[in-house]
Amino acid sequence: MADTKIYAASTTAPVNIAVIKYWGKRDAKLNLPTNSSLSVTLSQDNLRTHTTAACSALFTEDTLTLNGELQDVSGARQQACFRELRALRAALESADSSLPKLSTLSLKIVSENNFPTAAGLASSAAGFAALVRAIADLYQLPQNPTELSRIARQGSGSACRSLFGGYVSWEQGTLEDGSDSLALEVAPASHWPQMRAAILVVSAAKKGVSSTAGMQATVVTSALFPHRVKIVVPQRMKAMKRAIEKRDFEEFAALTMADSNSFHAVCLDTSPPIFYLNDVSRSCIRVVDEINRLAGKNVAAYTFDAGPNAVIYYLEENEDIVLGSLKGGLDGVSGWKQDVTAAGVEGLDASFLEPLKEGITRVIMTRVGGGPVSVEASLIDVDGQRSSA
Ligand code: PMV
């Protein structure tokens, strides 16, 4: 009788927010970057993708369902991930003939985010990291997260960094086949667990220019860009690793803000220019600068990806100053923890907070967190149907 068993594995994976930004591909097909980057992995308590990967002779084609909606998997990115993972499984099967031939079966992937996909948060990073990790677990692959990052990178560049928790670099590599363009753990979350992040969700609208289209245009047209990738980023990568090693928030914050500004500067220097920041984003920058000025040191660091949302990093010990100040202007917005009651930094003029009131729809309070976790909860039931965990 044919084997109609359903093989399944489930995982959750985190979002990461870069403090040294990836922007630019030197090879679009393999998703090879023009510069290295570095990110902080955020806690899965607040933001995570839960994915179940299953395979069975009962399934007739590869499918992916995200938040209840069937996705197109014919794209090169999904196909590259499926192909590479199947090849690793096939190698195991040819070395050990007792293993079931999972590499020949169709895959059914079911994924759910615990946050709105449209909020412009880095959902593709968590999504591809979870997809790769879940299939690797299903196939019982021996590859470590760095080896798997080579595959996740081909789904979405930033996804390779979501295979680790804590502080993670993506080393650009030099080889043409991309085999040395990999994610590495700079430090685990436990090295500097006091790192917090407040995400100010500025707009729930989908981003205007996709990161892929945007970075391609920057590479081709920006005159500032070669300076960023050749000089600025290599120096900042070194300095940022040092700041993390020494748990030096002053330096971490200075580099984070400078690199966000540099990334948005090359966007503006692109033809036609790309505007990811809006007036509300710029007001967030001004508030953070003012909080730091009044505190007499960097207690908060803003950073923005390819959209208007602000991510503000700060240390637990400065929560009263940073969150207290922001909450002063955003008290009516959802997402605050009850215990944020502090008045904030002394002397902050209400006019800095006024522009935020109109534009911020939600706050997500989170922290540095761990990497993907294998979980029992399955999104596919014993009959191979989608179930809600
Ligand atoms: O991985 P992608 O294609 O979603 O690009 C991510 C680009 C930024 O978020 C702007 C920067 C980064 O390093 O995450």
261 pLDDT tier (thresholds 50, 70, 90): very high
Domain match, 46 and 11 both:
yes
How many Cα atoms occupy the beta-carbon half-sphere of 369 within 13 Å?
A: 23
The verdict on residue 374 lying in a domain is: no
Same-domain pairing of 97 and 163: yes
Distance CA(224)–CA(106), nearest Å, equals 46
Residues paired with residue 25 on neighbouring β-strands, in sequence order: 33
pLDDT band at 333 (very low <50, low <70, confident <90, very high): confident
Residue 237 lies in a domain: yes
Instruction: Name the residue at shortest CA distance from atom 8 of ligand 1.
Output: 305
Q: Say if residue 250 is in the same domain as residue 147.
A: no
Model confidence over 81-102: pLDDT tens digits? 999 999 999 999 999 999 999 9
Note whether 100 and 168 are same-domain residues: yes
On whether residue 378 sits in a domain, the answer given is no
Query: Residue 69 belongs to a domain with what CATH number?
Result: 3.30.230.10
**Domain identity same for 237 and 331:** yes
- Tens-place pLDDT, residues 13-39: 999 999 999 999 999 999 999 999 999
Mean pLDDT over all residues of the chain? Answer: 94
Alpha carbons 264 and 250: distance in angstroms, whole number: 22
Distance 305 CA to ligand 1 centre (A): 7
Q: What is the torsional sign of CA 204, 206, 208, 214? A: positive
Same domain, 228 and 322: yes
Same domain, 207 and 176: no
In whole angstroms, how far apart are CA 252 and each of 15, 259, 302? Answer: 19, 11, 11
Q: Which residues line ligand 1 (CB under 6 A)?
A: 18, 21-23, 37, 122, 124, 156-158, 211-212, 305-306
The pLDDT tens digits of the residues spanning 158-212 come to 999 999 999 999 999 999 999 999 999 999 999 999 999 999 998 656 557 889 9
Could you tell me which of 235, 146, 142 has the C-alpha nearest to residue 182? 146
Q: Which of 326, 351, 353 is nearest to 340 (CA)?
A: 326
Own/partner contacts of 158-161, CB < 8 Å, gap of 24 or more, are 158/16, 158/18, 158/22, 158/37, 158/39, 158/122, 158/124, 158/125, 159/124, 159/125, 159/126, 159/127, 159/128, 159/129, 159/132, 160/129, 161/16, 161/18, 161/37, 161/39, 161/41, 161/125
- What residues have CB less than 8 Å from 323, skipping those under 6 apart? 198, 314, 336, 340, 342, 344, 365
Spacing of C-alpha 113 from chain mean position: 13
Give the number of residues written for the chain.
389
Domain count, the chain: 2
Positive or negative CA dihedral for 37, 39, 44, 46? Answer: negative
Q: How far is the CA of 267 from the centre of ligand 1 (A)?
A: 13
What's the pLDDT tens digit per position in 288-299?
A: 999 999 999 999
Q: Are residues 117 and 180 in the same domain?
A: yes
Of 136, 161, 188, the last residue of a domain is 188
What's the 326 CA to ligand 1 centre distance in angstroms? 26
Tell me, rounded to whole angstroms, the distance of Cα 227 from its chain centroid.
25
Residue of the nearest CA to atom 10 in ligand 1?
Answer: 305
Determine the Cα–Cα distance for residues 131 and 70; give it in Å rounded to an integer.
Answer: 15
Check residue 255 and give its pLDDT. 98
* Residue located nearest, by CA, to atom 7 of ligand 1: 22
Best residue for ligand 1 mutational test, from 162, 305, 309 (most atoms within 8 Å of Cβ): 305
Q: Pocket of ligand 1, candidates 21, 34, 128: which has the most ligand atoms within 8 Å of its Cβ, to mutate?
A: 21
Of 170, 188, 206, which residue sits at a domain end?
Answer: 188
* Last residue of one domain, picked from the residues 188, 222, 251: 188
Q: What pLDDT score was predicted for residue 386?
A: 77
pLDDT of residue 264: 98
**175 lies in some domain:** yes
Looking at the fold, whether 59 and 94 belong to one and the same domain comes out as yes
Within this chain, do residues 131 and 199 fall inside the same structural domain, yes or no? no
386 falls within a domain: no
Residue 377 located in a structural domain: no
Measuring from atom 9 of ligand 1, which residue has the nearest CA? Answer: 305
CATH number, residue 215: 3.30.70.890
pLDDT at 388 (0 to 100)? 65
How much distance in Å is there from the Cα of 212 to the middle of ligand 1?
Answer: 9
Provide the 10 A C-beta neighbour count for residue 159. 30
User: Does 380 map to a domain?
Assistant: no
Side chain identity at 102, as an amino acid letter? Answer: L
Mutate to test the pocket of ligand 1, among 20, 22, 49, 154 (most ligand atoms within 8 A of CB): 22
Same domain, 352 and 300: yes
Give Cβ neighbours of residue 227 (< 8 Å, ≥ 6 apart). none
Q: Residues 207, 163: one domain? A: no
Residue 273, domain extent:
195-367
Whether 384 is in a domain gets the answer no
